[in-house]
Amino acid sequence: LTSTRDMAMFRAVCNIVDNTISNVISRWGGFHHNLAIANYPHIAHRQQDDSWLKDSIFWTTPRNRRTLEKRWKRRFGAPNWGVHFGPRINKKIRVDHKTGEYFEIGKLAPVTYKKVMDETRKIQQRMADSFGVGVPKDQETLVLYKGEEKGGMKGHVVEMEHERPSFFSQNLLQKEYGKPGGSQETVRPSGLG
Amino acid sequence: MNLCKMLRSEGGRVLWEALTPSVSTSLHAPVRSFHCQISQNFAAHPTGFGNWDKKITVPGGSKPLSWPGYNERVHPPTGEYRPAYICHVRDNIKYSPKKMWYVANFVKGLSVDEAIKQLTFLHTKGAVVAKEVIEEAVELAVKEHNVEFRSNLWVAESFATKAMVIKGYRKHARGRFGKIKYKYMHYFVRLEEGQPPKDFYDHQEKFDPDRML
């Protein structure tokens, strides 16, 4: 049990501490003296409370730091735990055994299909030139090489200056399904050989 | 502390041999497996122990680096198997080392053919750089370092480090300026002869409950 004298001394010390801290904080924080009074009305009443603890000290400082491991995992990934950043091994790559070229499944290999791609470019250029500028491209188009005839086909004709290449057969130009209005029977390829 | 002087003494040599770990030259060693003995005869240049300890400028590069010097090392013939290795570097590439980190890690532990194949279909600048460096290293291996088969190589080490950083400025609104960093990097690669290990990375290992116990 503490005596009343000790209690008084203790209270005095607390008040001194209280006042000095509030003075220091008011200097740092720039609290207006009126504001201080408005905020701390109870100081005048000299209650034994620790308002300077509640309002002035910033209690929510970061105290728990992310560990190095956590920081690394967020930045670099952790494949052991299924978190992976960065490129993955591409399993769609195949090899063309004739040219030795690598290509992706679903995409054309540039070296292997070079001649097809070149021919396509030529036809596209020719088409663009034949249609002209500002003309709507809403007609059926037929590509004719040297020495070929139009036949009964109606529509726009694109004539090429060279002969038909061997890899571009007439069969490719036939439609897959049957005639419109007719039954969906298989279309036998014609013009082969 | 004059480390050189200490190591030159007999006691220092014993200490050095005690401190340097002996090499386990397995194919599963992704760490540099170098074991070099300090000879009593020292080379002319004061900062190293031999010609292989000097910094070399790679042809086409500008900075002297110690990485190509590893190719000049002569290992004593102790009889244990030591696979051939080739250290190659390209310096001062205009690319961020942080971005290159992803490509460098992607390529580690792959055989050289697989690495080149994968890098062909990885559409980043770092992939182009890595592919060229690995191809150069393969050429060097075959021509200069007595490697028998150009396909019998795998990427043991691959990393990028920071090189010079050129600083610049850019304008912002209201008369303010922002600093810009133009980052450069060096890209290092070490190829080793042989087949790549199946579990280069930890996550590639199969779970073995007995080993965990």
Q: What is the pLDDT of residues A54-80, one digit of tens each?
A: 777 888 888 889 999 899 988 889 888
- Using one digit for the tens of pLDDT, what is the confidence trace for A124-167? 999 888 888 888 888 888 888 998 888 777 788 899 999 999 88
Interface size, chain A vs chain B, as Cβ–Cβ contacts under 8 Å: 28
Q: Identify all chain B residues contacting A87, using CB atoms and an 8 Å cutoff.
A: 102-103, 106, 118, 122, 124
CB contact under 8 A, A87 and B120: no
Q: Is B106 on the interface with A (CB under 8 A)?
A: yes
A143, A128 in Cβ contact below 8 A? no
Residue of chain B with shortest Cα separation from A91: B118
Residue of chain B with shortest Cα separation from A101: B117
Per DSSP, the residues of chain B read: --HHHHHHSHHHHHHHHHHSPPP---TT--S-----PPPSSPPSSTT-SSGGGS-EEPTT--SEESTGGGGG------SS----EEEEEEEEESS-HHHHHHHHHHHTTSBHHHHHHHHHT--SHHHHHHHHHHHHHHHHHHHTS--S-TTSEEEEEEEEEEEEEEEEEEE-GGG-EEEEEEEEEEEEEEEEESPPPTTSSGGGSPP-HHHH-
Residue of chain A with shortest Cα separation from B108: A89
CB contact under 8 A, A89 and B203: no
ipTM score: 0.70
Q: Is B105 on the interface with A (CB under 8 A)?
A: yes
Q: Is B202 on the interface with A (CB under 8 A)?
A: yes
How far does A50 lie from chain B, in Å, by closest CA? 45
CB contact under 8 A, A86 and B105: yes
- Does the predicted model carry a pTM greater than 0.90? no
Ranges of chain B whose pLDDT falls below 50: 1, 4, 7, 12, 21-31, 33, 39, 44
> Strand B85-93 relative to strand A101-104: parallel, antiparallel, unpaired?
unpaired
Percentage of residues of chain A with pLDDT beyond 70:
74
pLDDT surpassing 50 at residue A35: no
How far does A66 lie from chain B, in Å, by closest CA? 21
Closest Cβ opposite residue A87 in set B102, B201, B202 = B102
A141, A124 in Cβ contact below 8 A? no
